[in-house]
Amino acid sequence: MLGVLRRHRLTAVDGLVLHRPVLGPFAIGLGAVVVTAGFALFWGAADIPPMTVVRVLLYRVGLPVEVDWPASWEAIVWQIRVPRVVYP
């Protein structure tokens, strides 16, 4: 049994087995999801500046943002790009 613990780099303390940390793989997976969502929001056929996309999102969630973009850009972001990220 101790050979198995050494092979997998687990240690036993008072009869409890300490497992490998999962924070690293979880953080990598979460980072990959965030990067993928960012690409889906910022890239598209319509050339909308990334800061405008961020401002449209902030405006749509209710934060006070000066609206200086065309209504078509807001529709593209909110009706096409956001659902592409949110809905599988």
Whether residue 69 contacts residue 56, with contact meaning beta carbons closer than 8 Å, is answered with: yes
Secondary structure E strands in 1-82? 11-13, 16-18
What does the alpha-carbon distance between residue 81 and residue 41 come to, in Å, rounded to a whole number?
A: 5
Going by the DSSP 8-state scheme, the letter that residue 15 receives in this structure is T
**pLDDT value, residue 18:** 58
- Across the chain, which has 88 residues, the per-10-residue mean pLDDT values are 48 59 83 93 92 94 93 94 88
| Burial environment of residue 53 by CB neighbours within 10 A (0 to 12, 13 to 18, 19 or more) | buried
**pLDDT value, residue 3:** 46
Q: What is the pTM of this model?
A: 0.67
Which residues, in sequence order, are CB contacts of 74 under 8 Å at separation 6+? 56, 59, 60
**pLDDT value, residue 6:** 44
